[in-house]
Amino acid sequence: MNFCRNLLVGTVITVSALSHASSEKSRFEKLELFNKVLHLIETQYYRDVDTEKLVDGALKGMLNTLDPHSTFLDKTVFEKMQEDTKGEYGGLGIEVTQKDGVLIVVTPIEDTPAYKAGIKAGDKIVEINHESTLGITLEESVDKMKGELGQKISLGILRNGEKEIRYFDVKREIIKTRPVKSFNKDGFVIIRLNQFQKDSGKYIEEAIISQRKKLDNKVKGFILDLRSNPGGLLDEAVNVASIFLKDGVVVSTEGRDPKNKEIRYVKKSGHKELELPIAVLINGSSASASEIVAGALQDQKRALIIGTQSFGKGSVQTISQLTEDQGLKLTIAQYMTPKGRKIQAIGIKPDVEVLPAEGEWLRENLSDDGYIREADLRNHLTATIETPAEKEERIKREKSQRLKRIERAKKNKEITASVADAEIRKYDPENDYQIIQGIRLLQAVSKY
C-alpha cells in the first residue's frame, strides 16, 4: 500500500515537472520568435531603425493586451509620472484615457489651463497640434501634450453630438493643483476635493477648522464633493475616510491569490464631525480613490451618497522600476469596500440618484450622464472571472444599456442647447443643484 502511494506521488511530481519544462520551452520558443522578427527588421527593413523604439513598442503592445491601466513606462513617461502625484507639474491639467484607439477626456482638473479653456469630460481629442491622435498610444498622446512651459498647444476636440472639430489653444503651465476648496451654505460645510494628492487629508482637516470658525462652531453637517475627482494616492484615500469614520475597515485589496488580502483600517478618530450628518457627491468621473472613500462611508452607513454612478475603476496598479529610467505599471489586485463589494467596472451606486439640473449629463454619449466609464473601455477587467457564456451575456447587456443611455441623452439634448458652456462649467456651490439637494436631504435626515 505504501509502495503504491509513494509511486503515485512520484508520478504526480514527474508530471508537474514535465508540465513546467513544457511551459519553459514554450516561453523560450516565443522569445526566439521575437528575436527572429527583431533581427529581420534590423537587417532587412528598407530604412535604418531605432532598436530601442522597436523594443519599447513591443513591450507597450504586450501590456496593452491586458487591461486599460497596465503599461510599459518609457523614459519620458516614467519621469513625468513621478511628478504627477506631487501636486506640481507642467502640462494642461486633464485626465485622459483611450477607447478603441480614440483619446478621450475623463475629466479636466479644476483651475488648470484645460479646465479654464472649456475642455469637458467625454470630449474626444482627435488632434494635437493638428496631428491626428489615431494610431498612437495613450502614453505618446500624454507626452505630446506636455512640454515647454508657456507654449500654446492646439487640441482638436470632437464633442458628442457635433460633427465639426472644435479647436482649443491651451497654454502649458506649471500645474499647481489646489486639491481642496471649502464653502459653507445654510450651516453646512461643503468640501470639494478635486484630486487625492499628497497631504489631501491634512488640507481637508484645515478646511474643516477654517469653516467651523466662520460658522462659530455651529456646523450642521458636511458635504464632501468628489465629483469629477479621478483619484490618486491610496494613502490619502485612507486619510480622508479616516476623518469621517470612527474605526473599522476603509478598503481591502485582493490579488491573484485571494488568500493574500491587504486590509487598510481607519488611521485615527476623535473629530467632532464624527456625529454630524454627511453627504458625499459623486458622478461618472469619480474614480479610484474617490470610490474607495464613497464606498467606505456608504458601507459603514456614515454618509449618504448622492449623485450618479461612479466611474468603476476598482483595480490596483503597482509601479516597478525596471531600469534607471524605465518602469512597468501593472494591475495586481482589485479594491473591495469594507463589506467586500468589488467596484471594478461597476462603480459606486448612489443611495439617492440626483442628476444635475443642466449640463453634460444630457449630452449624447455612452453613459446617460455623458461620462465614459471603466466598463466602456476596451479590455476592461470584470469584477469576477467570467465563463464564456457569462461574458457573452454581459456584452449583450452592456450593449442594450448603452443604447438606452444614448436614447435618453437624445431626448434631453434640446434642453441644454441654449446653456452656455461657461455656465455649465462654472463651479458655484450657491446654485449647484446637486449641492442644494444634498443639503435638503441632510436637513431631512437630521430631523429624525
Which residues are the active-site residues?
A: 288, 299, 313
251 touches 262 (CB < 8 A): no
Q: How far apart are CA 153 and CA 198, in angstroms?
A: 28
- Distance of alpha carbon 379 from the chain centroid: 15
Query: How many other CB atoms sit within 10 Å of the CB of residue 10?
Result: 10
Q: Round to whole Å and give the CA distance between 252 and 291.
A: 13
> 401-407: long-range contacts (C-beta < 8 A, 24 or more apart)?
402/366, 402/376, 404/368, 405/365, 405/366, 405/367, 405/368, 406/364, 406/365, 406/366
Angle, CA of 348, 352 and 358, to the nearest 5°? 95
Q: In what order do the strands lie in the sheet with 221-225?
A: 180-185, 188-193, 221-225, 278-282, 304-307, 352-353
* Residue in 323, 273, 331 with CA at minimum distance from that of residue 302: 273
> What is the rounded CA–CA span in Å between residue 198 and residue 203?
9
The three cell numbers of residue 84 are 504627477
Contact (CB, 8 A) for 332 and 319 = no
Find out whether 188 and 222 touch, Cβ atoms under 8 Å: yes
- Please answer whether residues 155 and 165 qualify as being in contact, where contact means their C-beta atoms are separated by less than 8 angstroms: no
